[in-house]
Amino acid sequence: MAHILIIKDDDLHREMLESALERTGNQVTTVSDGEEGLARRRTEKVDLVLTDLFMPHTDGIELIRKMSADDTPVPVIAMTGGVNGGHRPFTRDATLLGARAVLTKPFSIAELLAAVEGVLKAVPFQNGTDTPFV
């Protein structure tokens, strides 16, 4: 069981992500914007962050940059529509800044779960073991 922090400004999508991840046995914390996500990350030990890229206050790109620069970086999966204003894909920006995976909307629950599993298997957990916080 991993502790996953979801940072997503859309209530319906946030609840759908939370439900899917909880059904697979994960502990999930949700917040609605990047500032709240950064604050929660400082107060809770999480194994993975799932964040949207376009949100009010602190966007996902800034959030990934700050979390990657942290003393104990946490793996991040970014979610995006892929293009801002039809001009530039932000998937490359997210990965260059440290996102371990990027999900381009719309994506399926199976794609979400595969990305989460892949990222969690690829990185050691913050508690220094090969298993997430319990």
Domain enclosing residue 81, as ranges: 3-122
* pLDDT attached to residue 127: 45
Is residue 108 in some structural domain? Answer: yes
* pLDDT attached to residue 122: 86
What is the rounded CA–CA span in Å between residue 9 and residue 11? 6
Helices (H) and strands (E) in the chain, counts: 5, 7
* pLDDT attached to residue 93: 62
Is residue 104 in some structural domain? Answer: yes
* pLDDT attached to residue 62: 83
Is residue 31 in some structural domain? Answer: yes
Is residue 132 in some structural domain? Answer: no
Q: Which regions of the chain are under pLDDT 70?
A: 82-98, 124-134
Give me the CATH number covering residue 32.
3.40.50.2300
Is residue 111 in some structural domain? Answer: yes
Domain count, the chain: 1
φ and ψ at 42, to 5 degrees? Answer: -75, -25
What is the number of alpha carbons within 13 Å of residue 107 lying toward its C-beta? Answer: 24
Q: Which amino acid is at 90?
A: F
Is residue 61 in some structural domain? Answer: yes
Is residue 131 in some structural domain? Answer: no
* pLDDT attached to residue 99: 77
φ and ψ at 37, to 5 degrees? Answer: -65, -45
